[in-house]
Amino acid sequence: MVDAAIAVLAEGEGGMVVLEDLKCMSRKDRLRICLESKSSTSTISTFIENFESMTILHRILRFRLETGKALPVDEEEAKRMMQMDFKDVLSVRERKDMQKRMMRKGGR
């Protein structure tokens, strides 16, 4: 199902999926993707959240590489490094958006 959703997303974006396009996607666009890919809305939302997390991780890894810091060797170390470096990589607005999302998730 996720593969079909990715194909539908990539098709609409000329083969390239960009985080900004996913974040600005309207409810109508999400529903269209759900119908075309035969996926649930929760699957699409989870995909977008995971895509955003991977984008942030990639930015942090590039930051660490550029500043000469060690790269993580396992998932636990990657999580710890994300917590340490996210302030250096994310803008104030991105941090606020992330905090709002975490608050909403905690309230479910």
18 in helix, strand or coil?
coil
Dihedral, 40, 42, 47, 52 alpha carbons, nearest 10: 150
User: Mean pLDDT across the stretch 61-88?
Assistant: 90
Pick from 90, 72, 20: nearest CA to 51: 20
Tens digit of each residue's pLDDT (9 = 90 or more) over 49-68 = 888 888 888 999 999 999 99
User: Mean pLDDT across the stretch 81-86?
Assistant: 87
Structure tokens at 7: 């194909």
Res. 102: pLDDT tops 80 = no
